[in-house]
Amino acid sequence: MKKRDNPVFIFGALTAAVFMVLACTIFFPGCGKLLGATPPVSQNGGGADSLPTFLVISDIHLHSSLLQDDITSAGAADTGHDLWDTAQNKIRKVLAGEAGFSKPKFIIVLGDLPWHANAVIGSELESAHENSGQVLHDLRLMAEKADVPLIYVPGNNDPWVGDYHPFSLKMFTQDTDACKTYWPIITPRRDVTEVQEQTTLNMGYYSVLPLGLKSKLRVIVLNSTILSHKYTDTQNQRADATAQIKWLQTQLEQAKAENRFVLIAMHVPPGMDGYKKKDFWRKVVMDNDTPVQNAFLDLIDKYQDRIVGLLSSHTHMDGLRKLYNRSGKLTAVDISVPGITPGHGNNPAFKIVSYNPVNFELQNFTTLYQDFFPNKKVVAWGNQSFDFKTEFGCPQGTSIRSCFDTLNISTLRHGIQNIYRAKHGLGNTEEVNAAIDVVYE
């Protein structure tokens, strides 16, 4: 009998091979790829992805003096310090690349940092300021440790003098430990280039190159509170809305001239509030007598080959919106990001979005959520997640936009209804259906 045919020899060789694989995996984790190791997969299909990603968080609404039990029992749409602590623990793991996903390249925070304080009551407004500062402090420390840029988008609850008021830089003074007032981008790395004008910064909108000057990605941040139907400065709303839309056009023109791709981020989305059956944006007529939403949709249509996607929040719900041009053709997809607060019946959640590193098309998103509602208790943030492609049955080689082009309306509505409340049951059918389409007024 030849030595290699000896059963004892074969068993010994197999044992040695298994030992080598285990040793390599334990002591030299990087060699796992060489051995064909499969990356970890999170629950419900939201697996690790070799594509680059960014992280999106929204609607924290921190009320740091309260526990979530007290807030939930009162029916308020805010976040206790215990829930925010557990969310931060999960976010840190994601930023460290320890949650089964690649480490995000940057963070976008879509606004609404403090609790829903009554601006008429001085002590409550002061508390909101303190909570904004606390959230900014926490976010800054997480971004600094991960060494990634953090892009802040103004929310309607963030203004210094109260809900839906004009934007103010005073909020940034509340992060008292910061060595400087970070604005417009928090903790920028040396290779991150800001694109800014002081007049627009003072109004709360700007653009930035989060991956550096050589990168082809530009993130455009809008202050869509200016466009909302609840905006308090009605006297100047027409002029402010006109200025912002004209600025957006200039930004898109520059991006096209520089062969860059654009990701647009805002807090209050266009279209309808499905819950209240009312438009989010006021029917403001701009200086050229064009309704502001129509002007916005015209720009999305004209520069759709440059725009890789839109991000919004405000509803606290998960989901997607379809933006149409004058001819009724789909031009872009707006991804809604659920809130950390569970106050609207949504599980606490945030998103990881993957993109093509060449043309920056958004490929997939994964929603990571805490299963809050079985006992309405804060628990350690586990591995619960779901991803767009699995939920909507999209082939792995497609982008979010290209998949949308293939989905019939029934499949789309059913998919959004399934994810709307971040897996806390199904979303209301009428509410979901009313919010899908963003069309001309």
Q: Give the residue from 114, 180, 188, 190 showing the smallest Cα distance to 151.
A: 188
Reported pTM: 0.88
Q: Is the pLDDT of residue 345 over 80?
A: yes
Q: What is the DSSP letter of 282?
A: -
Given the structure tokens 């909020």, which residue do they identify? 171
Please provide the size of the chain in residues: 441
Q: Name which residue leads in pLDDT, 178 or 48.
A: 178
* Closest-CA residue to 262 (of 227, 299, 216): 216
Which residues face 63 on adjacent strands? 80
Which domains does the chain possess? 54-438 (3.60.21.10)
- Mean pLDDT value of segment 303-331: 96
| Single-letter code of the amino acid located at 89 | N
What DSSP element (H or E) covers 257? helix 234-257
Residue pair 104/147 in contact (Cβ under 8 Å)? The answer is no
Q: What is the pLDDT of residues 38-92, one digit of tens each?
A: 333 333 334 445 899 999 999 999 999 999 999 999 989 999 999 999 999 999 9
Backbone dihedral region for residue 182 (phi beyond 0: left; psi -120 to 50: alpha; all else: beta): beta
Higher-confidence residue of 50 and 28: namely 50
Closest to 244 in 3D by CA, of 194, 307, 201, 306: 201
Lowest mean pLDDT among 13-27, 309-323, 382-396: 13-27
Radius of gyration of the chain (CA): 23
Q: Which residues contact 104 (CB under 8 A, 6 or more apart)?
A: 53, 54, 55, 94, 95, 146, 148, 352
Q: What is the mean pLDDT of the chain?
A: 88
> What amino acid occupies position 369?
Y
Residue type, 186: I
pLDDT tens column, 111-170: 999 999 999 999 999 999 999 999 999 999 999 999 999 999 999 999 999 999 999 999
